[in-house]
Amino acid sequence: MKKTILIFVFFISNFVWTQEVIGTWHGLLDVGQKLRLDIHISKSGETYIGKLDSPDQGAKDIPATKVEFTNNTLVFEVKNLGVSYSGKVKSDSIDGTFKQGGFSTKLLLTRSEVEKKKANRPQDPKGPFAYLEEEVVFENKTEKFKLSGTLTVPGGEGPFPAVILVSGSGPQDRNEEILEHKPFWIIADYLTNQGFAVLRYDDRGTAKSEGNFNTATSVELAQDAESALDYLKSNPKINSSKICVAGHSEGAMLAVILAARRKDIHSVALLAGPGIQGGELLLLQQYLINKANGVPEKSNKAMQRFNRKIYKIVVNQSNISDARPILEKEIRKALKNTKDDDFSGYSSKEQLIQESMSNVCNPWMFYFIKYDPKSDLEKVNCHVLALNGSRDLQVPPKENLGAMQKYIPSSDKSRMFKELPNLNHLFQQCETGNPQEYESIEQTIQPEVLKILGDWLKSIQTK
């Protein structure tokens, strides 16, 4: 729910200029903010293998689903992200077009590394640190792979109360890095200085963690968070009865899933977490962001009507295989009277149809559209802190914070639900909440958010 992930692995066959394509290509993608892209191409036998990194998003090595090279034109797609790229390959450049959904922009890749002015991030922690920092590895025992992270531990004897940081949607590193913002590093530094051990980890298939992110739904990602929980419970430095699972965006949803089934979780901190059904949240998010970007109201409402039909089909079908032909029929029906040249940013009507199918018919999205957190929220019986920014356009507070407050049952445990004025989805002080502001804002996280989180965690240690 946070960002466009732009990472691909692709397999290129029958390439004419072998010596010209192997190596690293660099580009700068303009999506309202500038994102560097690095493509690395190598060869294994007769197959060309590529990897694309997005350094500004802290994301690497996500596979493409299709790569072709014909008549000096490179084409690759990442179906589960609805992404495609097509470009003419020359000896020292690839001149092409990047597309995702209805968005399209020119993208030139060259051999020269893109120089981008380093963003000023004044909140990034600066050593020396008054705590211990340890690289750790723990196992997802269900799927048998290892996850890597950083455990920060206060000085002293312990055992210490602990916090697990769980990132939002899309493959993210342990710092939840986006546009050179590293919010989880800042949170970990603050809380460890307040006396809490903090574990933050790379998502599966990202940075140093093993596993496959592309096939994972929120169910499997919750298993990873549970693996982190089990690791801390077995660590002698940690007070196993005082562990908080703190999630941001989808990470808050994963914390709720865990708290619904694990009664040994002391507390959860839900930062901009979903409280309504996934499909409804996506519709609300799309409408508000389109409005912020100047999409005409008539067009915006038309998109809402169409997407609502699509999401309803998903909700009513038990699996992707059953849903796929019904979805395709509905999409083709909606586009029946349009012509190929009516689709700006697409080579044809068929390309739009296939990309629309890919946007929905992937494991993560299919599950998320159907998931309603109500039943899990009703089972949460630990201490709860839920925070939202008033200008959050991705997980709007009225609907989501309101649902959490409604469904999480009252008990003798601490309950705090708070909407914070003028903050966006990343908890930055902002003007509009539009995601296009994220990069230009120097602040990574409003200091009041850190104080609220730290003070609340301290207040529940004797409960």
Among 313, 267, 295, 320, smallest CA distance to 393 is for 295
What is residue 347's predicted lDDT score, i.e. its pLDDT?
A: 64
Given a contact cutoff of 8 angstroms between Cβ atoms, the answer to whether 393 and 283 are in contact is no
**Every domain of the chain and the residues it spans:** 9-110, 131-276+372-459, 278-370
Residue 334 CA, distance from chain mean position: 30
Rounded (5°) CA angle 73-78-80: 160
Residue found by looking up tokens 């409408």 in the block = 287
Given a contact cutoff of 8 angstroms between Cβ atoms, the answer to whether 246 and 239 are in contact is no
**H/E element, 41:** strand 34-44
Whole-number Å distance between alpha carbons of 42 and 128:
40
Cis check for the bond before 159: say yes or no (omega within 30 of 0). Answer: yes
In this structure, which topology does domain 131-276+372-459 adopt according to CATH? Rossmann fold (3.40.50)
Residue found by looking up tokens 């003070």 in the block = 455
Whole-number Å distance between alpha carbons of 348 and 128:
57
Whole-number Å distance between alpha carbons of 189 and 183:
10
What is residue 9's predicted lDDT score, i.e. its pLDDT?
A: 30
What is residue 92's predicted lDDT score, i.e. its pLDDT?
A: 82
Given a contact cutoff of 8 angstroms between Cβ atoms, the answer to whether 164 and 243 are in contact is yes
What is residue 148's predicted lDDT score, i.e. its pLDDT?
A: 98
What is residue 80's predicted lDDT score, i.e. its pLDDT?
A: 61
Low-confidence ranges of the chain (pLDDT < 70): 1-21, 32-33, 43, 46, 48, 50, 57-59, 61-62, 69, 71, 78-82, 101-102, 339-347
Residue found by looking up tokens 């739904």 in the block = 217
pLDDT digits (tens, 9 = 90+) for 198-253: 999 999 999 999 999 989 999 999 999 999 999 999 999 999 999 999 999 999 99
Residue found by looking up tokens 């010596």 in the block = 19
Query: In the CATH scheme, what is the homologous superfamily, with its name and number, of domain 9-110?
Result: Calycin beta-barrel core domain (2.40.128.20)
Whole-number Å distance between alpha carbons of 226 and 220:
10
Q: What is the DSSP letter of 124?
A: S
- Distance from first CA to last CA of the chain, Å, rounded? 33
Residue found by looking up tokens 């933050």 in the block = 200
